[in-house]
């Protein structure tokens, strides 16, 4: 297998950059995701899916609340600041939405006031997959401006500050380590027991 082809190919499968937010029991939080997709075939009953890492606080809040909001961010300094605040640190360490303008949406999920557009969705099913949970959700509300330009990963790569890149890399290292631990634990749990000699 060519490592170059594999890395390039998997990168082509990134979905647009979005911010996923949720609130449960007075706690609010959000993260950056590149795995949100249109996941429905019925236009009058739209669905989305997103993959959420088990080590991320947002995943716990989405599952506890049963609802979430998914936002496209503005292609400007505000969007970059939201990307950096939500995607490079964890709500396990600090209250990330403090200082970020939000309002409660129809589902009670925090809506990022500066987002270009958003949908709110109600979780219909989940798939547990070692280090992450795949969440399928019915879209129940939407707002913002259609067809407005939004922040892309190319914007991020061109304009994110060196400091924010350092935080992103540090967070990614920690995530990969946590994911490897969960994969190892899952492999041990499913491996056949050795019979006693």
Q: Could you give the 3-state DSSP secondary structure of residue 90?
A: coil
Residues in CB range of 184: below 8 A, 6 or more apart: none
Beta strands across the sheet bearing 132-144: 27-33, 18-24, 67-72, 117-129, 132-144, 47-53, 37-38
Nearer to ligand FMN, 56 or 107 (CB): 56
* Interface region with ligand FMN, contact rule CB under 6 A, candidates 28-36, 38-46, 64-72, 98-106: 28-36
Q: Does 87 contact ligand FMN by CB under 6 A? A: yes
Nearer to ligand FMN, 73 or 195 (CB): 73
CB 142 within 8 A of CB 117: yes
Residue of 11, 64, 92, 127 interacting with ligand FMN (CB under 6 A): 92
CB 105 within 8 A of CB 149: no
CA atoms within 13 A on the CB side of 182: 16
Nearer to ligand FMN, 59 or 197 (CB): 59
Nearer to ligand FMN, 106 or 154 (CB): 154
Nearer to ligand FMN, 52 or 105 (CB): 52
We find the least distance from the C-beta atom of residue 42 to ligand FMN, in angstroms, to be 24
Q: Does 102 contact ligand FMN by CB under 6 A? A: no
CB 121 within 8 A of CB 138: yes
Q: Does 159 contact ligand FMN by CB under 6 A? A: no
Q: Which two tokens stand for residue 90?
A: 């964890």
Q: Does 33 contact ligand FMN by CB under 6 A? A: yes
Residue of 76, 89, 126, 159 interacting with ligand FMN (CB under 6 A): 89
* Calculated CA dihedral for residues 195, 130, 90, 52, nearest 10 degrees: -170
* Interface region with ligand FMN, contact rule CB under 6 A, candidates 31-39, 69-77, 123-131, 189-197: 31-39
d(CA 57, CA 147): 31
Q: Does 18 contact ligand FMN by CB under 6 A? A: no
Per CB under 6 A, residues contacting ligand FMN are 17, 29, 31-35, 51-53, 56-59, 87, 89-92, 96, 168, 171, 175
């Amino acid at each position: 297998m060519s490592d170059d082809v594999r890395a390039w190919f998997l990168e082509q499968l990134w979905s647009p950059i979005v911010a996923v937010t949720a609130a449960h029991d007075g706690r609010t939080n959000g993260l950056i995701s590149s795995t949100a997709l249109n996941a429905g075939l019925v236009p009058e009953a739209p669905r989305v899916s997103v993959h959420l890492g088990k080590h991320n606080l947002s995943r716990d809040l989405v599952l506890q609340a049963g609802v979430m909001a998914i936002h496209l961010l503005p292609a400007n300094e505000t969007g970059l600041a939201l990307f950096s605040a939500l995607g490079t640190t964890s709500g396990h360490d600090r209250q990330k939405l403090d200082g970020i303008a939000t309002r409660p949406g129809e589902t009670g999920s925090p809506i990022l006031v500066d987002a270009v557009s958003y949908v709110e969705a109600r979780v219909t099913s989940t798939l547990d997959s070692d280090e992450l949970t795949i969440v399928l959700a019915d879209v129940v509300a939407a707002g913002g401006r259609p067809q407005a330009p939004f922040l892309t990963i190319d914007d991020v790569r061109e304009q994110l500050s060196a400091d924010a890149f350092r935080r992103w890399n540090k967070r990614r290292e920690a995530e990969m380590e946590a994911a490897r631990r969960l994969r190892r634990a899952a492999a041990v749990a499913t491996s056949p027991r050795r019979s006693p000699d």
